[in-house]
Every structure is written in C-alpha cells, then in structure tokens.
Structure 1
Amino acid sequence: MANFDLIVVGAGLHGIAASRFYLDINPKCRLAILEEDTCVGGVWSSSRLYNGFWSQSGLRMAGFSDTPLTLPPEAETYHDIFEAKYVTKYLEDYVDSHKYNGLTLRDRVKFGFKVESIRKEGKWRVSGQRNDKVETIWSSKLVVATGHTSLPVMPDLPEQARFKGPVLHQKSFGKASSTILASSSSYHNVTILGGGKSAADMVYDSVKAGKTVSWIIRQTGEGPAAFAGAAGKGPYKNGPEIAATRMICALSPSCFSPVTWWTKTIHGSEYGRKLIAKIWLGADQACRDLAKFQSREGARPGFEKLESTTAIFWCTGPIGMIQHEDFWDTIAKNVSVYRSDIRAMRPNSIVLKDGSEIESDVLFCGTGWSRHYPFLAKDQIVEFGLPHAPEDEEDAEESSKWENLLKAADHQVIAQFPQLAHPPPHFERPTNITATRLYNCIAPLEDKTIAFLGDIDLSNSFRTAEAQAIWLTAYFDGRVELPPREEAEKEIAYMAAFSKRRYPSHGATGNYFHMDLIGYTDKLMKDVGLVSHRKGWWQDLVSPCLASDFKGIREEYLSKFGLAVEKDS
C-alpha cells in the first residue's frame, strides 16, 4: 500500500507551484503528484500547444520567482509577449531541475493517473485508473489542483449525428490541428464556434493554414470578446504590465484591498465614480478603435459583427489581447462571421437560425470549461463548500444561514462600492448553484487536511499559483490558522457577494476576480505575515507586479518559521 504525506492532484501550474514550495519547506515530505496526461503543464502542456497559442502576459510577468523564464535569441516576441511553447519548455525543465531528498518533481509525478474517487478513511484514499489498472494510494494531506481548464464544455448541437466531420473542443485543437490544418488535409472548410480568446486563436491559425474559415458567435451567448492591444507605454513593455500596477488596480474596487482614504475617494464619492467610469469607457473604445470594425479597408461583409459590447470594467463578456500585428487584417479580409445560433447540422454543413448555411468539414468549439470535480461525490461537494445545487443540501438550517450571510454581505458591498449597484445590461449566465464556501478560495471550513488550488479566476496564473502555494504551505504546517468559524463565514460571504456584484456575468459562483490579482495575492501574503514581494511605497504603486517579486519569499519564510518539523506517519 503506497503511503504519502501529501498528494497533489494535477501537474499544471498550480500543482507544480504547490509541490515546489511545500518541498522547499518540507524537503523530506513523501509527496506524489497525480497527472492524467502524459506530460506536465496543464493548459500549457505539450499536448495542448498550437501555432497561435501565445502567452497573455509578458516575459517579466511569467515564470516562478526562483527560476526566471528566459527566451532563446531567435524567439519571436510581440511587445514582450511570446509563444506558449516557451512556457511549456520552462515547466518541463522546472520539474527536472528541482530535486528534494534525492527525487526531482518529475520523479514524483504519476503520469496517466485518472483520479476516480477520493474518500477520507482516517487518511485520504485516492483511487483511479492507471495503465488500465485500478490503483489506490493513501495520504495524510491532499491538494486538488485540477484548475478550471480540465473539463471541456461541449454544446448540445441539434442533429449533430448527421454531421460527417469531427466536432472538437479547443482542448483538442493542439493535437488535431497538426493533421486537420495540414495543407494535404481533406478538411478545407473549417468552422469555429465561440466568441472568446480561444476561438479567436483557432480562427487565426486556421486562416494562416490556408483554410476557408467561418466564425460563429451565438446570439444567445456573451457575444464577441473585447480584444485589447498589447503595446505598453513608457517603462511598461505591454498592456498587462500596466494593468498589474497597484496604481491602475486602484481604479477597480476590490474586496481584498484595505479601505483607505484613497479608495473611499475614488469609489465612494460621486466625482470619483464618474472619473473612473470615464477611464474604463475609454478602454472599451480603445478596443473598438484598434479593430476599426466599421471602417477597416478591405474587410469582408459581416466583419462588423465582431464588435464587442463587453464593458471591460464589469467583464460582462470575454476579454483577450491581440498578439499578432496582422490579427485584425487577417480576420477582416479572410473570415466569414456569423452572429446566430445553430439550428441544425447537416452532413457537410451547419444551418443557422438566421437562415445561413455554412459549408463545413470540421467544427472546433471554443465553448468554455466545466468547473466541477467528477471524482467527488455530492456529499463531499457540499461538505467542502464547493459550488453545488441547493437541493443537495440536507441541512435546511445551514442553507438558511448562508442565505442570510450573503444578503448581509451584499448590503455591505453596495455600501462600500455604490457603483456596483448599477451594472450595465449584460449577459447573465444561468446558474442554479451556490457560491463557493472555501476560505480564500482555497480551504474548506470542515477539514484542515484538504485544499483546492487554481479554483479562482485571476489575470495572471503564475503569481496566483505561487501565492497560493506559499499560503497553502503555511496553512498545512500550522503557521496560518483560519479565523473563528463565524468570522471566516462572514469573510467568505463578503467575497462571494462582491464577486457577484463586481462581475455580474461571471461572479455568481463567488470565485471570479479577474481584476483583483494584486489585492488577492497581497492578502495571502499578509495572512502568512510575509513582505518580500513588496518594493517600497513608490515602486509598489507604479511598478508592475513581476514574477521576480517573490524571489526572496522562501528565505523570509524560513527566517520567520524555520523548516517544518518532520513527523512520523
């Protein structure tokens, strides 16, 4: 029987970060990483690469703090943005270069392990399929780091069985594109469904491969994404660096940031709110100006249907970044754009509700991801405080308590941030599930030996993963204690109420905080009592939060707490 001190489910960004920092502090820990794929990296893995896949953050914001991500001299960059394949190589090298107690991180990965069941029977019993055999292992502590890009959402297409070509999710695009987009391929007419960044990438790649490309954006969905330019200004190499400064983040209300005279001025006064609204409307207009939807020379009829109605401040629709100088020209002059839902599938075509019929050999779906844990039973989902259907709760008193907590928290959010009471018209995602009840979107209140990482939407995964790994290590080692139960529940309810008000199209599950990267990661570090990520008041205000900011955090942690005391299991 295989026994471990810690099992990490998932070898993506968050699983790697958690394993590395935990072993930094607990080098003799018997740690195993379970990965369903045959390679590490999750969304960045070699199995999911494709030509148009680029990083959404610049080089200075990528990588972990202890090992810089570097590019070869021949690497193509665009305002310091770079191809995703370099992140893939970085992560592959990372798991080989980090060794603890004679084993590298890669040595600890059990590849091809599909977790099917997790149960606590004194210790955590983790069972799954590996090499066509059932395998069971045990652990004192457990981290679930499967993230939110593991389980594809596929649309229910009417009469799909009649369609002769493949219907594939964006998750499969990397593997499939090498054959489907090849010049010798029999697939000539490629259709992409979806309005977000992944759909845009697939459209661009398909055009560059010489295919006839159609782009369908459903009338009943969020609509097309707002795509910002990558260029930075002054000392900032790109747009994400500007967005990752505390100066700019202060223009967005955050439930994680402390209340100061400045936040009261800009978010509590009528003058401050009008000024901020003007700034964010300017950002919306900048996206439209970049694309020139109504005036781009040589654009095909229908290009104007890509004009987004997303309000960037509110994140009411998909948001992305342009990573190719010729992106809009390529799309405008080569792609047939449709804004309609699919009415029927035919053997070699797709019929839309507006009457259009699109000749198609293959359909790629950029239709998002499902955020659930198929290896957890309903009672576990409820117990851990993960989003769940209200009818799954057996304790009516507990359900009523959370309902009251959320109502009180909503009043608090509106009192602190009055502008959030008046969102613009927006797509409202149907939901019949509760908000998350994880403390810091990581820790269940009912069990101190399990945690969930990556179950939060923020704008930079590297910084998020490293901050969560540090907090988790301190939490599992008893260096951080959760507040008393009543106080913890109020904090969770406040975060959930804020998420729903701040991001009305996506925040109902209480873990969407796209513009709260700095506030959230600062809070995690404050909980642990660490300051190595700060640069001094002026630089903190105007400098972007970079990967290197956490560079001294291990040394500060060890100076404060020392190595963890090894315990016999």
Structure 2
Amino acid sequence: METLDLVVIGAGIFGLATAKMFQQLNPNKTLTILDSGSSIGGVWGKSRLYPTLKTNNMLGMFEYPDFPMTTDAFAVQPGEHISGEVMYRYLTRYAEHFGILDKIRYRTAVLTAEHHDSSEGGWTLTVQNDGTQHRIFARKLVVAAGFTSEPFLPGIQGEEMFGAPIFHSRDLVKHADTHGTAKTVTVFGGTKSAWDAVYAYASKGVKVHWIIRESGHGPVWMAPPYVTPLKKWLEKLVHTRMLAWLSPCIWGGVDGYSGVRSFYHRTAIGRAVTDAFWSLLGHDILSLNKYDSHPETKKLKPWSHPMFTASSFSILNYPTSIFDLVLDGTVRVHIADVTGLSTMTVHLSDGTQLETDLLCCATGWKHVPPVRFLPEGIEKELGLPHTPSESDLFTPEEVARADEEILSRFPRLRDQPVQNKKLKPILDTNALTTTDTINHSTPLTPWTLYRFMVPPSARCLQTRDIAFAGALLNFSTFMVAHAQALWITAYFNDQLPASVVPPIRPPHSLHSQTATVPTTERGRKAEIKTEKIKSLAELRRETLLHARFGRWRYPAGHGAQFPDFVFDGLPYLDLLVRDLGLRVRRKGGWLAEMAEPYGPEDYRNLVDEFVARVEGGRRLP
C-alpha cells in the first residue's frame, strides 16, 4: 500500500492552495492531490467551462496573494470580469509555478477514508481510478472538495416520459450544442447559476422559460459591480473595515475595535445606524436594476432582506443586460412550483404548460463530503453533518446556551425576517421525490468545525491528521484559501500557539491550563515563557458559537448548514492571521485601516512573515 505524508482531495482553488503551502513549508515530505474530474480547477475545470461563464469578481480581487493575475500574462483588463477559460489557465499556471501540477491524479475518486485508531493516527483511503480500486495510506488528509462539486438533481414526476434532456446547471457545457439547436428551453431555479444559464441561452436568441419556485427562496440579490450613490466597487466595499463593523459577527473584534462593534450592535442608536446602512444598500440595488419599472422584471425582485443574505448575494457580470432579454420577451419568468412532466412539457402549479426542448435545473448542491468516513459514526467526532443523536459532540443544552449568547450579543438577530410564508423544502412538493435522503429529506446537524477547518474532538486534536479546506462560502475566496492553507499547514506541523490549539494528550483535560512552552520549533534552543493553553472546553465553545451563528445571521443563505457569509470575510481573515501570530492590522495608520479596502496584495507576504515568526520564536507586533 502506497504511503504519503499528505493527501488532498480536490484540485480546486482550496485544494491547490493547501498542497502548495504544505510542500512549500515541508519540501521533503510527499503529497498528492486526488480529483475525480478530468482536469485541474474544480468549479473552473475544463469540463465545466461554457462560453459565457465568467467570475463575479473583477481583475485584482480574484487571485492568490502570492501569484498575481496580471494583464500582461492573462489579457484581462482592469474593470473586467474574468472568463472561465482564463481562470482555468491561471490555476494551471499557479500549479506549474509552485511545482504541484505533477502531483495531481485525475479521474480518481476517494470512496472511503478509514481512520487509524492509534496515537499517530492517519487514514487509509480506498480510491478508484478508471474502474480500478486501490488503497493509499495518508499520514495527513485534507478534504477540499468544497460545496459545488456534487450537484443535487431532484427527481420529478413524469420525467421518464419527458423525452428531452434534463440536466443540472453544472453540466451546461455538456449541452453546449443546444445553444444553437434548441428553440425553447426551460431553466428551473432562482440562484446565480440559474441567471447564468438563462443568459447563456437567451443571449443566443433562444427562448427561455424561467421557473422560480413559489414555495422557494425566490430570486437571489443581483447587484451591479458598483453600488451606493458613491459608485463603490462592491467587492472592495465588503472588504473595508469600517463597513465590516456594520455586520454583526461573532468572530469580529479580533481587529481590536471591539468597542466600535459593541456600539453598532449593542446600542439602540448603533443598531439604527446599521439598519440604515443595509436599507441604503438594498434600496440602491433595487433602484439601479429598475425591478419595479415593468411587471416582468418585478418578478426578479429579491424576496430576502439584504442583511440576512449571504454569498448568494451576487453580481451582474454579463456583457449585455439580462433585464433587456426579459423586457423583449426572449425570457419569460414564471413564479410557480413544478407539478410534473409529460412529453416535452413542464407542468406548473398555476396551470401553465410549457413546451420545451430541455430542462436545466439550477437546484443546488449536496452539502456532505463526497467521501464515506470510517469507522461508522466517526462523522460525529469529525464535526460533519449527520443525523442528530444523544451521542453528539454538543448537547441540546449547550446549543441553547450558544444561541442565547449570540442573541444577547447581537439583539438585532432576534428579529428574524420572514422570507416567504409559503416556504418549504423542495422535497415537500407533490411533484418532487428523491433517493438522496442523506442530504435533503433527513434533517442533519450543521458542519461544526473549529475555525471552519478542523474537528473539535479530543481524538482528532491529538492526532492532528485531518482538516477541511474550503468548507465555507464567502466573497473572499482566494484570500481565505491562502490563509486557510497556511493555518492548516501550521496545524499539521504543530506550529500554532497553544492558546489557539491545545496540545491534547491523554488524559484529556477540559480545564484551562498554563504551561511552560518553547516559543520556537521543537529541537531548537529557545526562549522559554509561560503561555495560556486553550482548553478543549474553550475550543468546543468557540466552535459551537461560530457554527450556530450562521443560523441566526444568514437565514436567507446556507448559514444554518455551513459557514456562508459576505461582510464577515475580513474578520475571518483577521481571526486566522491572529491565530498564526501575525499582524491583523495590515494598513498604514488608523485612517487607512478603517477606509482602505483589503485585497490579496495585503496578504502577499503572509508566508514569509510566518516563517520569520517561527524561526525567530516570536510574535510579530
């Protein structure tokens, strides 16, 4: 059986960043990246690229901090959204530049991962490549499959007699020929993927029926790239510290401005200011898109409150107006549920029957890892979604205490919005059925990982042999991927302070401790100091608070299932950078710190700073 120091599952943005970082800081160790696809890139893999696919982001905000995407190298101009083809080339060059491209094994799916119950830990992986199974022993394992790998495609009554293609929006490229051959198509869903699919067809002159569930979450928020009366770049707006303060955030405050946050969220005047900000932002977007100017565009007006919307809050990145395609009749919007299918026809709850050449479903993704973990029941220790039971890591009483702490710190979150009084899961309709019980018909616990990366159980913290990269959705993708990769590598290398991750050794103590610990790497003569050790109980409490926070902060997103946020991306970066013992405030002076937006360039030297801290046995100021 092959033995490797590190196995990364997933060759997307987070998997590549983690593999690169581990190799950079552990050049003598072995690693591989396993990906079930046929190319590098994950979401931006070659098999998922269709002609109109572009990033929501514009040049300068969607790149690794230590590998800038330049105009000369990639022919993208400032102010332009980045095409899918450029993203594929960028990720390929990143992997080439850092020497990990040849570490990727394509068309290799990980079927099971079994933990070794020993002091050293490790994982035996059963993998399948081109129909052949074999095993790999991984001393460390990183799951970087993300939340947009496994599509959820519901079954619909009558689909066996439909007689036309039914496919998930992920597979749009596989049906690219229909852009020129289909006369009328139907797109089902209100997500950004649905908007993209609608535009891909309608911009080619194909008639589109666009179905948005009457019992669903409604159309997502779609903002122009520049918002507010001052026409600020939205991506930079969400990474500006003084505006991040206006978002209630349980892990905020590590930037040292806890007093400001307390004013905004714990006083009546402050809450009035924050409400005014979110109202202004929402009203500005509604006005810019002119939803109310026509009955058809009004159907695309979002149903959720902008403050409670997470990463589904998206950006209009099309070269021409999608609203014009609605106004001229190329796109017809239907607010109704699907009740069934018959020959080349979609039936709706309002009695409408839509004749169509295909049905494209933008119906979301599976939110559990695509790997079966063994032994049975270990998913509870790993903090992964599972059917609730009495043996869970957290008791109902602990969950209730966490909820009360969140709501007492952020009273505004007690007033939860009602997005849709008719809201019900897609499987509660008469039309839809599925065998995918683990993901949709069974209520599962949320993802519950410390720092959204590592299991909060004593055994996992002792062996330090597994982490999850990219188990979250946010606007700060590449910056977070870079910081998470460094945090995970430091975690594996036992280089995080004991005040961040306790050095768990049997018997497992649940009480706070202080200990005399070396401030440099083991094996080196080091200055000795006394450092507070975070207890397992404190680590578990933080983990639960952060996991439960999403349920209250982002009910219009996926916050109840996994981390999903927008304005809280910068505070999350602050948290990881502080854990690494590095500078959180990275601007020059208090005014710049408040008003200048953060970007990848602010984290360009993060690795060098970390190496200097480790080798020098000190924290940077």
CA pair 547-429 structure 1, distance change in 2 beyond 3 A? farther
The residue correspondences of 1:430-445 to structure 2 (distance < 5 A) are: 432-444=443-455, 445=457
Cα distance, 1:175 vs. partner?
2.7
Matched residue, 2:223:
228
Q: TM-score, normalised by structure 2?
A: 0.84
Matched residue, 1:379:
377
Alignment match of 1:280 (pick from 278, 281, 288): 278
Matched residue, 1:335:
331
- Contact 2:13–2:41 at 8 Å: present in 1 too? yes
Cα shift readout 1:91-114 (whole Å, capped 9, x = no counterpart): 01111111xxxxx20111111101
- Contact 1:58–1:241 at 8 Å: present in 2 too? no
Tell me the SS of whatever aligns to 2:443: coil
- Contact 1:79–1:231 at 8 Å: present in 2 too? no
The residue correspondences of 1:74-113 to structure 2 (distance < 5 A) are: 75=75, 79-98=79-98, 104-113=99-108
- Contact 1:57–1:81 at 8 Å: present in 2 too? yes
Cα distance between partner residues in 2 of 1:264 and 1:202: 43
Matched residue, 2:290:
292
- Contact 2:296–2:326 at 8 Å: present in 1 too? no
Tell me the SS of whatever aligns to 1:425: coil
- Contact 1:436–1:496 at 8 Å: present in 2 too? yes
Cα distance, 1:81 vs. partner?
2.6
- Contact 1:80–1:238 at 8 Å: present in 2 too? no
Matched residue, 1:303:
297
Matched residue, 2:568:
516
Cα distance between partner residues in 2 of 1:272 and 1:145: 39
- Report runs of 4+ in structure 1 exceeding 3 Å deviation: 71-80, 232-237, 427-431
Matched residue, 1:412:
405
Cα distance between partner residues in 2 of 1:329 and 1:254: 38
- Contact 2:150–2:370 at 8 Å: present in 1 too? no
Cα distance, 1:72 vs. partner?
5.0
Cα distance, 1:365 vs. partner?
0.9
Cα distance, 1:123 vs. partner?
3.0
CA pair 16-2 structure 1, distance change in 2 beyond 3 A? same
- Contact 2:59–2:77 at 8 Å: present in 1 too? no
Matched residue, 1:363:
359
> Which shifted more, 310-319 or 272-281?
310-319
Cα distance between partner residues in 2 of 1:429 and 1:489: 32
Cα shift readout 1:264-285 (whole Å, capped 9, x = no counterpart): 1111111111121122112222
Tell me the SS of whatever aligns to 2:54: coil
- Contact 1:190–1:362 at 8 Å: present in 2 too? yes
Alignment match of 2:614 (pick from 552, 561, 567): 561
Q: CA RMSD in A?
A: 2.3
Alignment match of 2:395 (pick from 397, 402, 422): 402
- Contact 2:215–2:424 at 8 Å: present in 1 too? no
Cα shift readout 1:304-357 (whole Å, capped 9, x = no counterpart): 211212211011894211113423212332211100011111111111010111
Cα distance between partner residues in 2 of 1:172 and 1:67: 30
CA pair 317-132 structure 1, distance change in 2 beyond 3 A? closer
Code of the residue aligned with 2:268 in structure 1: it is E
Matched residue, 2:246:
251
Cα distance between partner residues in 1 of 2:310 and 2:566: 11
Cα distance between partner residues in 2 of 1:78 and 1:369: 32
Code of the residue aligned with 1:490 in structure 2: it is R
Cα shift readout 1:122-157 (whole Å, capped 9, x = no counterpart): 531111211221121111111010000011011221
- Contact 2:41–2:92 at 8 Å: present in 1 too? yes
Cα distance, 1:3 vs. partner?
1.2
Cα shift readout 1:212-260 (whole Å, capped 9, x = no counterpart): 1110001111001111111268998721111211111111011111162
Cα distance between partner residues in 2 of 1:26 and 1:188: 55
- Contact 1:79–1:232 at 8 Å: present in 2 too? no
Cα distance between partner residues in 1 of 2:161 and 2:130: 34
Alignment match of 2:213 (pick from 191, 195, 218): 218
Q: TM-score, normalised by structure 1?
A: 0.91
Cα distance, 1:38 vs. partner?
1.3
Cα distance between partner residues in 2 of 1:56 and 1:44: 13
Cα distance between partner residues in 1 of 2:55 and 2:211: 24
Segments of structure 1 that go 5 or more residues without pairing to the other structure are: 99-103, 565-569
Cα distance, 1:47 vs. partner?
1.3
Matched residue, 1:60:
60
Matched residue, 1:150:
149
Q: Are 2:114 and 1:119 equivalent residues in the alignment? A: yes
Segments of structure 2 that go 5 or more residues without pairing to the other structure are: 426-441, 502-533
Cα distance between partner residues in 2 of 1:354 and 1:75: 48
Cα shift readout 1:517-557 (whole Å, capped 9, x = no counterpart): 01111101111101277123332222222112111111111
Matched residue, 1:463:
479
CA pair 538-84 structure 1, distance change in 2 beyond 3 A? farther
Cα distance between partner residues in 2 of 1:332 and 1:154: 30
Cα distance, 1:194 vs. partner?
0.5
* Matched length: 546
Cα distance, 1:509 vs. partner?
2.4
Matched residue, 2:541:
490
Q: Are 2:190 and 1:195 equivalent residues in the alignment? A: yes
Cα distance, 1:52 vs. partner?
2.4
Tell me the SS of whatever aligns to 1:309: coil
CA pair 232-146 structure 1, distance change in 2 beyond 3 A? same
